[in-house]
Structure 1
Amino acid sequence: MLDRTATKFSHVKPGDTQFASGGLRDFFLYRDLGVAEATNGQVIAHLVKANMPPEGGTGWHRHEANFQIVIMVKGWARFMYEDQETLVEAGDVVHQRPGIRHFLFDYSPDMEYLEIVSPADFKSVDVEPAAAVPPATPWE
């Protein structure tokens, strides 16, 4: 049976939280969806959107997390997952297995994605490059 004391009901409407800086990457804006608080830190869900051009991208890294998915809501992003270039477009869903080395190196100005990660306080760890990274597309 589900322990209903471990989590709380949460309902966040579009006007309840705003996009803000101060997240993992300074070139993105983040909108908290209330899930981390509702799950006592078991899961985080936030919307992430482009704020500045992808001049350096995220760099090669991995996450110390048990679960992570990215659902592209608007626009597109190009990732390197290990040695595989991957275009993620609006409507696509990516499950990033725990520990996979990756690099988000290019994205459209209107890029926005939903990210769900467990635990909420997951860590990002820099890693050695897995492959060469193609150049980003300049913003007009």
Structure 2
Amino acid sequence: MLDRTKTTFSHVKPTDTDYVSGGLRDFFLYRDLGVAEATHGKVIAHLVKANMAPEKGTGWHRHEAEFQIVIMLKGWAKFMYEDQETLVSAGDCVHQRPGIRHFLFDYSPDMEYLEIVSPADFKTVDVEPVCAIPDPTPWK
């Protein structure tokens, strides 16, 4: 049975938290959904949206995390997962297995996704390139 003493109830409305810069990537904005605080760092849930046109993308990296999903809410993003190009469109859900090497290299101006990761203080580790990356689509 779930031990409810280790987590708290949380209800965050759209007006409760703002999108802010200063997250993992400077070309994205992040909106905290209160889950990291409610779970005492077990899980983080935040909204991520495009802030600037893609120029270089995220670079090749992996996360030291036990669990990670991305649910695309608006727009689209193109990832390389290992050597496989993957288009993630609104409505899609991606489970990124622990340690998978990936590179987000292109996205639409209206891209917005929900990301849920455990633990909340997961680490991002740069890795050697797996393969060549296609050029991003210029924004008009």
Consecutive unaligned residues of structure 2, counting only runs of 5 or more, are none
Partner of 1:78: 78
Correspondence list, 1:59-138, <5 A: 59-138=59-138
TM-score (norm 2): 0.99
Q: Percent identity?
A: 84
Structure 1 residues 91-139: Cα deviation after superposition (integer angstroms, max 9, x where no partner): 0000000000000000000000000000000000000111111110000
2: CA distance, partners of 1:95 / 1:50: 20
1: CA distance, partners of 2:25 / 2:19: 13
* 1:34 counterpart = 2:34: yes
Structural RMSD (CA)? 0.4
1: CA distance, partners of 2:55 / 2:2: 45
Partner of 1:10: 10
Q: How far did residue 3 of structure 1 move?
A: 1.2
Which of structure 1's runs of 4+ aligned residues deviate more than 4 A? none
Consecutive unaligned residues of structure 1, counting only runs of 5 or more, are none
When the two structures are aligned, how many residues end up with a matched partner? Answer: 140
1: CA distance, partners of 2:18 / 2:114: 14
Q: How far did residue 77 of structure 1 move?
A: 0.2
TM-score (norm 1): 0.99
Partner of 2:25: 25
2: CA distance, partners of 1:120 / 1:10: 15
